[in-house]
Chain A
Amino acid sequence: DTAVSQTPKYLVTQMGNDKSIKCEQNLGHDTMYWYKQDSKKFLKIMFSYNNKELIINETVPNRFSPKSPDKAHLNLHINSLELGDSAVYFCASSQDAGEGYGYTFGSGTRLTVV
């Protein structure tokens, strides 16, 4: 099936640990994104990658680092996890960042830091 898939779906970890969330899209899209949805359901952009180049970084702590081995993948690595990092993280992709194409989202990764 064509889609944006992210793993794992749930992630429970202790403070201070390092973890990664993987994302893959098989839609042939040029741009991929990471969004964070907090407990108030507010969806905030974290990163986007266009042809393996980071084009935005919205004041996200440098403990978060996106890694894109190729156009179809954008993984999110988080160092030294904190309680406030608990949220749902969504990966998304689009044909082009600025031309008005709709985004396709993954089903989310619920991260709980204890």
Chain B
Amino acid sequence: SQKIEQNSEALNIQEGKTATLTCNYTNYSPAYLQWYRQDPGRGPVFLLLIRENEKEKRKERLKVTFDTTLKQSLFHITASQPADSATYLCALINQAGTALIFGKGTTLSVSS
């Protein structure tokens, strides 16, 4: 069955540094991958989508890469700020193409 792994449960970095989060998947070749942000007590918020034929996608300070050979996506936040502190979730469409399955998330803490 499909598996999604976000290797780090928690990541602590200093303000101004680049945060890099990793998402690995197995047993599947998804057509696209999505990243979400979740703050405590709130629902996930969609950030970015990257398709299998795209190597990289950018949105403001966010950058996502998608390596279908390694079965891995990297999510970067440049010039990180304390307001970026949240849990970031990686998601793939399931094999039936009917719903997203989510990784367990990485909780990012940015200290000033």
Contacts and interface: CB of A to CB of B under 8 A. Distances in A.
A98 B101 contact: no
A105 B99 contact: no
B93 A100 contact: yes
B106 to A, nearest CB: 11
Contacts, number: 61
A102 B43 contact: no
Nearest to B51: A100
B69 to A, nearest CB: 21
A23 B34 CA distance: 23
Given A41-B104, A90-B43, A105-B43, A100 B49 contact: yes
Contact of B46 (A35, A44, A103): A103
A25 interface: no
A91 B98 CA distance: 15
Nearest to A9: B41
A4 B89 CA distance: 19
A44 B105 CA distance: 12
Interface size classification for chain A: 20 to 34
Contact of B44 (A50, A56, A98, A105): A105
A95 to B, nearest CB: 11
Given A41-B104, A100-B31, A100-B51, A48 B98 contact: yes
Nearest to A106: B43
A45 B44 contact: no
B104 A40 contact: yes
Interface in B81-112: 87, 89, 93-94, 96-102, 104-105
A4 B104 CA distance: 23
A97 B97 CA distance: 7
Interface of B: 31-32, 34, 36, 41-46, 49, 51, 87, 89, 93-94, 96-102, 104-105
Interface of A: 4, 33, 35, 40-45, 48, 50, 55-56, 90, 92, 97-98, 100-108
12 contacts: A42-B104, A43-B89, A43-B102, A43-B105, A48-B98, A56-B96, A100-B32, A101-B49, A102-B34, A107-B42, A107-B43, A108-B43
